[in-house]
Copies of this chain bind each other. A is one copy, B any other.
Amino acid sequence: MEKMRINKAFTLIEPGPVVLVTTNDGNKNNIMTISWTMVMDFTPMLAMTTGPWNYSFAALQETKECVISIPTVDLLDKVVGVGTCSGADTDKFEKFRLTPLEGKQVRAPLIKECLANIECRVIDIVKRHNIVVLEGLAAYFDKARKEQRTLHAVGDGTFIVDGRKLNRKKMMVEKLPPGL
B-binding residues in A (CB < 8 A): 8, 10-11, 14-17, 35-42, 45, 47-49, 73, 76-77, 80-81, 83-84, 124, 126, 128-131, 133, 149, 151-176, 180
Chain B residue at minimum C-beta to C-beta distance from A171:
B80
CA A80 to CA B84, docked complex, whole Å: 37
Q: Which of B37, B49, B166, B169 contacts A161 (CB 8 A)?
A: B166
Evaluate contact between B160 and A168: CB separation under 8 angstroms: no
Evaluate contact between B155 and A161: CB separation under 8 angstroms: no
Q: Which of B47, B133, B161, B175 contacts A165 (CB 8 A)?
A: B161
Evaluate contact between B163 and A14: CB separation under 8 angstroms: no
Chain B residue at minimum C-beta to C-beta distance from A76:
B166
Copies in the complex: 2
Evaluate contact between B166 and A40: CB separation under 8 angstroms: no
Q: Which B residues are CB-close (under 8 A) to A159?
A: 165-166, 168
Q: Which B residues are CB-close (under 8 A) to A149?
A: 163
Evaluate contact between B15 and A175: CB separation under 8 angstroms: no
Q: A129-B47, A133-B129 are in contact. Are A169 and B152 (CB under 8 A)?
A: no
CB distance from A95 to the nearest CB of B (A): 14
CB distance from A37 to the nearest CB of B (A): 6
CA A133 to CA B8, docked complex, whole Å: 26
Evaluate contact between B16 and A152: CB separation under 8 angstroms: yes
- Of residues A15, A151, A176, which shows the largest number of chain B Cβ atoms within 10 Å of its Cβ? A15
Chain B residue at minimum C-beta to C-beta distance from A170:
B157
Evaluate contact between B35 and A40: CB separation under 8 angstroms: no
Evaluate contact between B176 and A156: CB separation under 8 angstroms: yes
Q: Which B residues are CB-close (under 8 A) to A49?
A: 38-41, 47
Evaluate contact between A40 and B80: CB separation under 8 angstroms: no
